[in-house]
Chain A
Amino acid sequence: MTAENRTAEDVRSVVEAAVAKCGAGGVGATKEDLIPILTEVNKALGYLPPEAFKEVSRLLRVPVSQLFSVATFYHMLSTKPRGRHVIQFCDSAPCHVAGGRQVWVALQEALQLQPGETSADGKWTLQTTSCLGICAVGPVIVVDEDIYGNVTPKQVLEVLARYE
């Protein structure tokens, strides 16, 4: 589902599914389930559009301002549209010293993107991530949910070519 062909109906059903899933424990979703719910919606839609906030706000009876405040606090929740594929590059010290800087340069060159930017065709979003804890195989990049370790600058194009 891309931002263009998504309807208000789609957003509503995604939010309802997320709320139902996170409230499965018993009494139904409450304010405390906010982060899991927003994470689910973010995953399904790629980001958190204003309509999603309205929907969550209605279902949980939490003001939109509060939702926005929570969503903007956490790195993994995005209020801006993201590309079909999100590339996360680990910019922590262990990856940095293992040749991460060169990989980062190669990534930026291949995509012509700055960190946090999304390509004009809506295919890629380039982000940095905090340490993923797999430092023994650094440099590490993650595309969507696929992890690539021991990445060399030469492999960058090869990895990117795997995604439609």
Chain B
Amino acid sequence: MKYYRTHVLVCVDPECLAKGAHEVMDSLQDELVAQGLINEVQVLETSRIGSCHIGPEIMVYPEGVHYVGLSTDDIPYLVEEHFLKGRVAKKFLEPEVEAKDEELSAPTSKEVRVVLRNCGKIDPENIEDYIAEDGYEALAKVLTSMAPEQVINEVLASGLRGRGGAGFPAGKKWQFARAPKADQKFIICNADEGDPGAFMNRRVLEGDPHAVIEGMIIAAYAIGANHGYIYCRAEYPVAVKMLNIAIKQARAYGMLGENILGSGFSFDLEVRMGAGAFVCGEETALMASIEGKRGEPRPRPPFPAISGLWGKPTNVNNVETYANVAQIILKGAAWYASMGTEKSKGTKTFALAGDVNHTGLIEVPLGINMREVIYDVAQGIKDGKKLKAVQIGGPMGGCLPEAFLDRPIDYESLAAAGTIMGSGGLVVMDEDTCMVDIARFFMEFIQDESCGKCTPCRVGTRRMLEILQRICNGDGRDGDIETLEMLCKYIKTTSLCGLGQGAPNPVESTLKHFRHEYEAHIYEKRCPAKVCRGLIRYEIVDACTGCTVCARNCPVGAISGERRKQHVIDVNTCIRCGICMQVCNFNAIEVH
């Protein structure tokens, strides 16, 4: 291994790439060569450092100096100042007030980073960086001193549960897959993270791919599998690239392939890319897709542990589950089980979105309550508004009202409240949100992604969507709520897979906790949050100065009036797009 006095990490997150990170990197290399420093300074790629919004950004170690907003023109000056003269180039320093990453910032006091511990800290393209952070030590421990049963027992004792959503104990799953005798078994990592707004797994795959690979090798040893697949969605090209690099390096270092670490155990791994189908996140659909078929789910049982990929015993876990495994082996089940509640142990990553001051990825110990997450970690609701609901669990999750703020976040409490843990989407909604509109939005997504194999999901969700659309358009009828409730019940109990079974959750939970909003839409023809277009109208009030901005911006020409005189909106022409309200500088447009 070659030694360098300085390491420069260049962020190659999609956002920085779009701002020219590769060009900056190239010119940095060229300038270092020109100055004769190339043997002293190493330039590497890394995932997001934290300030991509003012990128391209680089991090210089060992000083830990973070430069942002670089362009290729700045490089000669930067190299001369920093790398030749040893002075910090102050003008490119990250402005301190903005030291905030929209995706993953420094952990707040309530956070514990286990899965995200290496993200943004190590070079994901270099296995040695991972090894320096205790990487593959757990694998060595497992292969040299533990029997497969011991590994399973350790994972069982840790209380780790599947982080893909359903929360089935990982150790139990491994036990089931170990039990059958078979000539071949498979390990699959579900990296088909499709919930809109949830990107926890993407960051782990891009920032710390070896953690996932190590977890998979340990699982393979535990159940006796020799081949594995990482099924990654095609929407994540960078993750696929990082995984392929990591697999190649792991092979070169003897962590994958024949006779791993001289133990006699052999295991190899390949990446399979999806082709854009949300339902492939369901494990049986995912396996069909790996087999080259339509990604349609099939009934369980038989469970994959008995008859999975090509009919062989198969263990499927998601990215986050595998990323926990090495840490559990290294630090012990007791350490992991010390975090969380009685039945939900460890930490969970969430992608925080919506009307909170701090959005992005967080990792918190399970059992933390929603109030702490929203008001401490997420720093409260934007613009001092009131909280209305928290949507947790992705499109198949549910909406919780304020009354649930003090309940702990764990699998059992969430299920009792009518939602699921899901893969980690957490959308906070303020008082201006219409819950019927939200239910419609999620139903649209589910209807779009329903694979069409079973009738309840294919037809049932379509009927639900039609009713919701009608209600939002102001054409709700007496009896709609009851029909929705009936459909929820039937679809839940008769659908083939998790997508259909979870499809009614957004509607069911909003009906349960926000029924009055449905009633206001249907019986009073009123949208309390003033969102649903069919139930609102825009009006110009006295504050109007007649500046004509609204009239000029109206896409349908619905606004008329003389210059310097109050304008009027023609209700019949208006499409209620709200552009006039956004462009008005005098707050002269109101919604009713």
Contact = CB atoms under 8 A, between A and B. Distances in A.
B53 interface: yes
A76 B237 contact: no
A32 B291 contact: yes
Contacts of A131: 194-199, 235
Nearest to A129: B235
Nearest to A109: B555
Question: Which of A76, A133, A147 has the largest count of B CB atoms less than 10 A from its CB?
Answer: A133
Nearest to B354: A97
Nearest to A147: B14
Interface string B430-469: 0000000000010001000101000000000000000000
Nearest to A73: B294
A57 interface: no
B289 A147 contact: no
How many of chain B's residues touch chain A, expressed as a range?
35 or more
Interface residues of A, number: 38
A145 B273 CA distance: 16
A35 B235 contact: no
A73 B235 contact: no
Given A133-B202, A135-B197, A70 B14 contact: no
A92 interface: yes
B234 A39 contact: yes
B196 A92 contact: yes
Contacts of A145: 237
B290 interface: yes
B273 A36 contact: yes
B190 to A, nearest CB: 15
Interface stretch (B145-153, B157-165, B275-283): B275-283
A98 B1 CA distance: 46
B156 interface: no
Contacts of A5: none
Interface in A48-79: 69-70, 73-77
A143 to B, nearest CB: 11
A126 B306 CA distance: 44
A130 to B, nearest CB: 6
A116 interface: no
Given A92-B196, A135-B353, A130 B276 contact: yes
Nearest to B291: A32
B441 A93 contact: yes
A94 interface: yes
Contact of A39 (B17, B196, B273): B273
A38 to B, nearest CB: 8
B292 interface: yes
Contacts of A33: 292
Interface of A: 25, 30-36, 38-39, 69-70, 73-77, 92-94, 97, 102, 105, 129-137, 145-150
16 contacts: A25-B270, A31-B291, A35-B275, A35-B292, A75-B276, A77-B276, A93-B353, A130-B276, A131-B196, A132-B236, A133-B199, A133-B235, A134-B14, A135-B351, A136-B15, A149-B18
Given A73-B277, A149-B15, 9 more contacts: A31-B292, A33-B292, A34-B293, A70-B293, A73-B451, A74-B274, A75-B277, A77-B276, A129-B235
